[in-house]
Amino acid sequence: MNDDTATATNPTGNGLVGLIPVGIALLLFGWFLSLAPAIAEGQSLRLVWDWVPSLNISLSFLVDGLSLTFALLISGIGALVLLYSNTYLAGHPQFTRFALFLTSFMLAMLGLVLADNLIGLFVFWELTTITSYLLIGFGHDTTKGRRSALQALFVTGAGALALLAGFILLGFSMGSFELSVILAQADTLKAHEMYLPILILILAGTFTKSAQFPFHFWLPNAMAAPTPVSAFLHSATMVKAGVYLMARLHPGMSGTDVWFWTLTIAGAFTAVFASILALRQTDLKQALAYTTLMALGTLTLFLGQTSGYAMTAFATFLVVHSLYKASLFLVVGCIDHATGTREADVLGGLGRVMPVTAFAAGLAALSMAGFPPFLGFIGKELKYAGILAIGSEPFIFAAALLTANALMFAVAGIVALRPFWQRTGIALPRKPHEAPWPMLAGPVILAVLGALFGVYPDLLQTSLVDPTVKSLLGSMEDAKELQLWAGVNMPLILSIATVALGAALYLGHKRLRPALGRLVDASPQFDNGWDTFLAGLKGFAAWQTRIIQPGILRRYIFATFATVLVAIGGTMIARQAMPALPDLSDVTFQNVALVVLISAGALLTAITSSRIAAMAALGVVGIGVAMIFIVFSAPDVAITQLLVETLVVVLVAVALLRLPVLDQNGRDRRPVDAILAGAIGLSVTLVLLAVLETPLDLRLTEYFEVTSWPEAFGRNIVNVILVDFRALDTFGEVAVVVIAALSAYALLRTTHPRKDP
Amino acid sequence: MEALLAITIGVLVATSVYLMLARNVLRFIFGLVLISNAANLIIFVSGRLTSGAPPLIAEGAEGPVGDVANALPQALVLTAIVIGFGLFAFALVLMFRAYSTLGTLYSDDMRIAEPRTEDTK
Amino acid sequence: MNTLVANIFFAVAWMILFNTFTWLSVLSGLAVGYFVLMLIQPLAGVKSTYFKRVWYWIKLLVLFNYELIVSSIEVLWDIFTPTHRSNPAIVNMPLDVKTDAGILLVTNLISLTPGTLSIDVSADRKTLKLHVMFADDPEAVCRSLKEGMERWVIDAVEDRE
Amino acid sequence: MIDLAAAILVFLGAAMTVAAGVGVIRLPDVFTRMHAATKVGTLGSGLVMAGAALHFAEPGIIVRCVLIVFFLLLTAPIGAHMIGRASLRLGINPWTPRQKQDSKPDS
Amino acid sequence: MNSIILRVGTRYLCGLLVLFSLYMLIRGHNEPGGGFIGGLIGSTGFVLFALACGTADARAALKVMPQNIAMAGLGIALLAGIAAAVFGDALFTGQWLFINETPEDKGIPLSTVLVFDIGVYLVVFGSILSIVFAMEEEI
Amino acid sequence: MDTVLTLGFALVFIGVGLALVRLAIGPTLPDRVVALDQMTVSIVAFCGLAAIRSQDAAFLDVALVLALVGFLATVALARFAERVVIRREAREDEEEQTE
Amino acid sequence: MTWTLATPLVLPFLTAVLAFLARYGAAGRWFSVAGNAVLLGASILLMVRVLDQGVIAAQMGGWSAPFGITLVADYLSAVMVVITAITALAVSVYALTDIDERKEHLGYHALFNILIGGVVGAFLTGDLFNLYVWFEVMLISSFGLLILGGNKDQIDGGIKYVTLNLISTILFLSGIGLLYGMTGTLNMADIARTLDTVENQGLVTVVAMMFMVAFGVKAAVFPLFFWLPAAYHTPAFSVSAVFAGLLTKVGVYALIRMFTLVFDGDIGFTHQILLWVAGLTMVTGVLGAAAQNDIRKILSFHIVSQIGYMIMGLALLTPLAVAGAVFYLVHHIIVKANLFLIAGVAERTAGSTDLNRIGGLYKSAPLLACLFFIPAFSLAGFPPLSGFWAKYVLVAAAIENQGWIIAAVALLVGLLTIFSMTKIWAEAFWKPHPEGVDPTLNQLTPQARRHLLIPIAALAAMTLVIGFSPEPFVTFAKDAAAQLLDPTAYITTVLGGET
Ligand code: NA
Ligand code: NA
């Protein structure tokens, strides 16, 4: 089931919108190509633009062997894929977006591989994440498409956050965010106390991005994207970003036990695991996706090493894989485009109808299977050589690699041979036809390059492999020679074993599938795990939200007051701010009477079940407080208090006419609330007593007393403070009053009250 | 007397907290009125108390004669009382409107903005 | 009303003459103005009720205060004695007073006199509902109120010759 | 001499306030309590004000005291009238010595 | 509210309250009073009016919407503060003009401070009335 | 005078306290309103005492305001009581009930 | 000088008065737009002055500090005022279409502009009680704006909002009283200076905690944020936007101000607590968002979560961390306000903000999709958008400070933020509309499109500008942090050289 079916086969594609990106890609490719000779001579090119100097973040770019190899792959394959998709998605209503995203992705990817600043690199890293999210979600009409996009984003995004932490830690530890500076101090870095956390965090980023086990599950799902996207992102470029980063950091971080074991084991395991899964697939694209995983595992495995063989193998296989895998994806796209299906068991005998496609597929598949004289063969030989150079347990890893390669051999047959040669007799959804030339250009050129480099390995060696190895190891001398015939040696024997095992697997793959299926089903289901994780996350989120945000006001108020209590009472105890016992010697009868009056009014308000009693009791408190203001020389305040109290009673009396009685179900006694309330009251009293122990500095008041009449021409100091000394307060206050009135008015007038019964 | 008032303020705070925790939002309003009084008294008491000497300057004098009450807290309390009234009036109207719109004064039954989760599922 | 204005005018003139603005000068000004007006009454054609009414007002105030104090003692007695001597009842009293001011004055004064309390005036303004504390003889209470308080008020505020 | 008179007036006024309070507690129904509160209370405040007027003996203050009493005399009966009217409409019948009257509680 | 006594009483009291409120406003700078207290007292006059005679009559007597009074008051208070700019002073710096100033007596003071207090008065007055009237009309 | 004032304050407080008791025990709405009214009037006396004791007429201003507007609360409450009845007559099914 | 500070404060009130008195005509709403445009100009002038002179202060009423009320602007205040003006202008344009005449007649523009005035006042005042007054101004106008419309959910949300905020207000007021009782002054610089001499330093910490709780409610931190998710999704979108952008940030501002200037005596206690609060706020907020299914509810919970980041910066109290908090504030206001504005357009076109009931916007309204994508992914912290730098600086500060746990929490919460932003994206934009309609922007009149989209586009452009060229903003934030961490200049400027 493919969601990206082309709607037209017009080879002119989408006009300028489709061709401009191709032009951009070609220009970039040309530029990189022009840099190649200089780089091959061991030079490097560095461009720096101070981006955020205050954070030591620059947009610095470094073109060396490693980055140039990637840049050429990205821009070259990019140009072909863009050309291809122009036809593949001809007339699609969202093509413009597609082209924009794909071009952006390409540029971001270039930025990623060229960046020499950790944070700059991270920015591009995340840009590839976003653009790939949008590209995977191109089939956004389906739940599956959206799920895949989210999954890819989430998994790689999670890794990216770890990566960011790792980068920051790395940058702080080494005193610079410039990669070239950091990598120049490899010994310091490896000896740094933060080495291990840095490594773990960065590997979390690279493993997720490069879909290493157990983060691999998002990649096959990402095949929901249109086929050109899969070809470009999920085989040739983006998934290799993780690999790239490990390679980039290799000079600075490799060589430790942790590095070696982590990368080697994860890589090997991913390779074997993925190739087994690949054999099981019937959807051609899915099968390719799993072989991509296998390739990524292999590349990781090599990066775990430090030998010249391993590095050469890495560099070579990187190029080999990009060429054949992109080619094969595009071929699958052509088949899909022509027949309307990608099911391996349905497809067959297309060779006659689609000869050019078949040609490209054949070349690419042979390279993938590792037949001489293709580059794939050289790559495979180097892989075995590299694996045998591993310091410990080489044979275990060689066996793993053998298994993986054999499986890959079988998959190459399934994907690239069977659809063209072997008829199935099952009717195809569409009458097949040869793909138009823009769609053939990519697969053919890439496949031919694979063959070409196989025949002339020197071409690749000098231009890309040696400079890459130099980037990794610091010198080109360690690079091993690429050659088709290196004599009869262990790698060759392993190659022969691979072919034999692979052929057997190919012939028996249909019978093997059920067994593989059982094996896979028995192992942990990471893709289902994703669903479980999401459901768990949502469930947990919903649960915590129900607990914290239940929608019940009383709980909110309770929590708020409980916090108040902890904040005041808790701090009083923790910070030993307790007051001494208060001095009550100056207390008079009048004072006690006032206090009793207010307290009685307050308690009555709290306990009465008659709303009128409550309201009247409130009035008592108000009157009592006014009496305090009278006793303690605040006539203005007392007047205001009494007036406001009166208005409060008036308003409540009006409001109550429409409100029900307080408790229909009798009084509710709330001991817990009472304890909380009492504790808060006690805390407030204690704080206040403590405050009253400190002497009060009256200089503000003294200033007001001295200036009130001579300078502000007023004899009521309180009023002078209100309208002159602190007029701004008063202004704000009257604004509050106006707005309170407007709000209350609006509240009464906008709403549509409940209909009377 | 400051100490005695501190205790009174504690009582006011305690009763108002108790009221605010009630199911009926009308009680919250009552609590609000009480706690506003408490806050005003806190400011008032923090400025210390002076009996029988309002902060007024007699005609002909340049400043107040003798120790008069601290005028600043009085001005602040006056401000706070009026603001408190504005807040109270709005809150009261809100509860009033809540009853006519939602048909209840019981906050537990006010579940329109945040419906029970089983309702949304 | 014009006479009142004239009286105030005379008082102000008096004060300007003396160039003093104390409360004493106000009172004396008012008093002097009153007498001057009474003297020139025939010249100015001032209604004679004004002069009478001032005396009615004074009479009203004095009598009211007397009533207030005297009957307060009655109520106080009832408050402080262990048994309630009172025999309260709601009594309807026909109202003769017509003007708004008159009604207000009558009802307020009756209310302020302990032992009686104005509860309501009927919509047609003809009846005053009273709560009487010592209503052993409601008719007598009504009568005494009508002849006392209401009469004085009518004299003081209403133009009825 | 004036001071003594003022003191007596103030004392009487304060005593009246207590009397009003006792009345509000002791008297049998809302109407009779109103008599105590509105009138004895007003009288009490009036006496205190008279005392204050005597004590200060300044024209400005005397006028203020007179005004206070005047305002009280103007407003207190209106308030009492409103309460009394409401009581009647609430169906509260005056207490009489002959029959014991049940007072209805409020809402 | 068909109480004749209350209605008649209100007729006198309302005017009295407004008059008294103005008195409290004007004297506020030297004696207890001021814009807040004045505004509160003034509003009680019309609150009483509304309780006794209904809001329709009270609104008619007031002529202007209370919200507009309040907002105009805010504007006046603000202008009183901004006026200082004309004299090159900071916001809310009081500007005073004394009429009939003599060495012994400052004479009759006119000031932006008083204007500010008038603004406060209007705000309090208008705001309380808009709430109370609107509330009254709900029942 | 001072003795009288001290005594006076005490008496006023007793009066207010008694009113508070009536306010608490009710039992009818008008009873509580009467109690509140009595308190308001008592505060006027209280202000007078405060003015005499402090020799400052400023407290008389408090009394003045209270004398003028204090009854407003009484009026509002009384009207509330009355309206409750009217509304009950108008709508028998309304949940407004005297307790 | 004094009017440089006073003008941004005065303008909103003037605008409010004019807009209110002209509320029955079209003039009212244009007063609002024009007033906010002038406000923006005035605030830029203020910013220029502050950049030129560092901290500036003005004594209101001509009364010298600490006797009168001082207005003071340092970098933080100035930038907050500018951002406020930007948000206000954007929202007032948006409101031209979003707010109907009924709401205008009830005084929407007055409420809105006074809200802005309160916000500006809170940022500019150097006086604690005056800060309280501006908080009240904001609070009460936010009440009015929240319930304007009077729907059931508004009333219900309003009750929660009002009750909880009132509690905080009272606590704030009481705290001021206590602080006055200890120091005898209300001027914040003066308090800061005096508080060190208080004998009972434990008591200072107690009062500091009171302020933390009071502002914590305003800022919506754990466990005090309940009111926010309960209410922010209910009012008009213009209102939601300005609430989401500005209001809680005033609480954060107040926390930053108080806990750098005044309460810096017991950092080991107070800021450790703040750090816990920050972490829990981030986590509970983001999980709350994950549980929601309505755009505005998701966005509301995210406000909570992101407040946590800002508090984290304050809690760590290093120059980089505080710079991060400042940067985060600025970024968040722009982005969050914009997202709510976009939610409004989404509702207008697709018919709802409930994710189950809308969809298809990516296909039919690509412009809106693009405009949503920018703030949404900025919020999620993707580079090179503004949110990335905000988060980067904070995480870097945490790591620099060896705050491993808080750094991990910050990153993890970032991941969950991605989760809910993409949820909106997937459900509202990618998913086909459940009723099969094509929600295009053409449903809106050209005028409405202008009013609604221009502010959104402008805010999105700002997000991009900050994202692509963060250097001036980061430098500024660092300078602001330096001012905050060494308040000497602030104190001397306010107190006029007297120390
Ligand atoms: Na300090
Ligand atoms: Na400090």
Tell me the pLDDT tens digit for each residue of A570-611. 999 999 888 888 888 888 888 898 999 999 999 999 888 888
Tokens of A340: 């309307």
Tell me the pLDDT tens digit for each residue of B58-104. 888 888 888 899 999 999 999 999 999 999 999 999 999 999 888 88
What pLDDT sits at residue G286? 95
- Contact criterion met (CB below 8 Å) for G347 and G429: no
Q: Do E9 and D75 touch (CB under 8 A)?
A: yes
Main-chain phi, psi angles of C160, to 5 degrees: -135, 110
Give the mean model confidence (pLDDT) for residues C128-150. 82
Question: Domain of A79?
Answer: 14-253
- Contact criterion met (CB below 8 Å) for E29 and E114: yes
Per DSSP, the three-state class of A94 is coil
Sign for the CA dihedral angle at A608, A614, A619, A622 comes to positive
Q: Do A637 and B93 touch (CB under 8 A)?
A: no
Query: Which of E91, E111, E116 to mutate to probe the G interface, most G CBs <10 Å?
Result: E91
CA distance G397 to G407: 8
Same domain, A245 and A271: no
Pick C137 or F12 by higher pLDDT. F12
What pLDDT sits at residue G477? 96
In chain C, alpha helices (H):
2-18, 23-44, 49-80, 100-112, 138-145, 151-157
Same domain, A217 and A266: no
- Identify whether A588 is part of a domain: no
- Identify whether D98 is part of a domain: no
**Is B120 a residue whose pLDDT tops 60?**
no
**Is D99 a residue whose pLDDT tops 60?**
no
**Is A661 a residue whose pLDDT tops 70?**
yes
Residue G203 Cα to ligand 1 middle (Å): 13
Per DSSP, the three-state class of B110 is coil
Q: Do A631 and F47 touch (CB under 8 A)?
A: no
Same domain, C91 and C117: yes
- Identify whether C152 is part of a domain: yes
Number of domains in chain E: 1
What pLDDT sits at residue G113? 97
Q: Ligand 2 is a single-atom ion; what residues have CB below 5 A from it?
A: G 192, 264
What pLDDT sits at residue C161? 46
Question: Domain of E30?
Answer: 4-138
CA distance A445 to A327: 8
- Contact criterion met (CB below 8 Å) for F17 and D21: yes
Same domain, A154 and A275: no
Q: What is the mean pLDDT of chain C?
A: 76
- Identify whether C87 is part of a domain: yes
Residue E133 banded pLDDT, cuts 50, 70, 90: very high
What pLDDT sits at residue G7? 95
Tokens of A659: 């409100």
What pLDDT sits at residue B119? 45
The residues facing G72 across adjacent strands are G57
What pLDDT sits at residue C45? 57
Tell me the pLDDT tens digit for each residue of G352-369. 999 999 999 999 999 999
Q: Ligand 1 is a single-atom ion; what residues have CB below 5 A from it?
A: G 192, 195-196
Same domain, C38 and C73: no
User: Which domains does chain F possess?
Assistant: 2-98 (1.10.287)
Give the mean model confidence (pLDDT) for residues C2-10. 71
- Beta strands across the sheet bearing C116-121: C89-94, C127-132, C116-121
Same domain, A162 and A293: no
- Chain G residues whose CB is inside 8 A of the A158 CB are 415
What pLDDT sits at residue F90? 55
- Chain B residues whose CB is inside 8 A of the F54 CB are 51-54
What pLDDT sits at residue F29? 85
Domain-ending residue, one of A253, A285, A319: A253
Residue F92 banded pLDDT, cuts 50, 70, 90: very low
What pLDDT sits at residue F93? 39
Main-chain phi, psi angles of B24, to 5 degrees: -85, 120
Q: Do D105 and A661 touch (CB under 8 A)?
A: no
Same domain, C34 and C88: no
Touch G-D: 3+ C-beta pairs under 8 A: no
Q: Would you identify the CATH topology of the domain B1-49+71-109?
A: Helix Hairpins (1.10.287)
State the nearest Cα–Cα gap between D93 and chain F, in angstroms.
Answer: 12
Residue A10 banded pLDDT, cuts 50, 70, 90: low
What pLDDT sits at residue A230? 87
What pLDDT sits at residue F95? 40
What pLDDT sits at residue A4? 42
State the nearest Cα–Cα gap between G299 and chain A, in angstroms.
Answer: 15
Domain-ending residue, one of A524, A555, A580: A524
Residue F89 banded pLDDT, cuts 50, 70, 90: low
Q: Do D94 and C89 touch (CB under 8 A)?
A: yes
In the complex, which subunits touch F with 3 or more CB pairs below 8 angstroms? A, B, D, E
- Identify whether D17 is part of a domain: yes
Closest chain B residue to the Cα of G226, Cα to Cα: B114
CA distance C144 to C147: 5
Residue A401 Cα to ligand 2 middle (Å): 66
For chain B, the structural domain boundaries read 1-49+71-109
Neighbours of G470 (CB within 10 A): 27
What pLDDT sits at residue C124? 85
State the nearest Cα–Cα gap between E116 and chain F, in angstroms.
Answer: 22
Pick A203 or A476 by higher pLDDT. A203
State the nearest Cα–Cα gap between A726 and chain B, in angstroms.
Answer: 9
What pTM does this model have? 0.93
Residue A444 Cα to ligand 2 middle (Å): 73
Asked if ipTM goes beyond 0.85, one says yes
Pick A387 or G70 by higher pLDDT. G70
What pLDDT sits at residue G366? 93
Tell me the pLDDT tens digit for each residue of A483-507. 777 777 888 888 888 888 888 888 8
Reported as half-sphere exposure (CB side, CA atoms, 13 A), residue D14 has a value of 24
State the nearest Cα–Cα gap between A695 and chain F, in angstroms.
Answer: 26
Neighbours of A555 (CB within 10 A): 17
For residue F19, what is the enclosing H or E element? helix F2-25
pLDDT in tens, chain G (499 residues): 689 999 999 999 999 999 999 999 889 999 999 999 999 999 999 999 999 999 999 999 999 989 999 999 999 999 999 999 999 999 999 999 999 999 999 999 999 999 999 999 999 999 999 999 999 999 999 999 999 988 889 999 999 999 999 999 999 999 999 999 999 999 999 999 999 899 899 999 999 999 999 999 999 999 999 999 999 999 999 999 999 999 989 999 999 999 999 999 899 999 999 999 999 999 999 999 999 999 999 999 999 999 999 999 999 999 999 999 999 999 999 999 999 999 999 999 999 999 999 999 999 999 999 999 999 999 999 999 999 999 999 999 999 999 999 999 999 999 999 988 999 999 999 999 999 888 999 999 999 999 999 999 999 999 999 999 999 999 999 999 999 999 999 999 999 854 4
Number of domains in chain D: 1
Tell me the pLDDT tens digit for each residue of E69-83. 999 999 999 999 999
What pLDDT sits at residue A455? 84
Closest CA to F44 of B33, E17, C63, D51: D51
Q: What is the mean pLDDT of chain D?
A: 84
Number of domains in chain C: 2
- Chain G residues whose CB is inside 8 A of the B98 CB are 155-156, 158-159
Residue A183 banded pLDDT, cuts 50, 70, 90: very high
The torsion angle over the Cα atoms of residues A371, A374, A377 and A383, rounded to 10 degrees, is -150
- Identify whether D40 is part of a domain: yes
For residue G164, what is the enclosing H or E element? helix G152-183
Give the mean model confidence (pLDDT) for residues D39-59. 88
Question: Domain of C12?
Answer: 3-44
**Is C136 a residue whose pLDDT tops 70?**
yes
What pLDDT sits at residue A721? 95
Residue E1 banded pLDDT, cuts 50, 70, 90: low
Give the mean model confidence (pLDDT) for residues A203-221. 89
- Identify whether D99 is part of a domain: no
For residue E15, what is the enclosing H or E element? helix E4-27
- Identify whether C51 is part of a domain: no
Domain-ending residue, one of A253, A278, A311: A253
- Identify whether C36 is part of a domain: yes
- Identify whether A392 is part of a domain: yes
Closest chain A residue to the Cα of E116, Cα to Cα: A723
* Residue F27: cis peptide before it, omega within 30 degrees of 0: yes
- Identify whether C52 is part of a domain: no
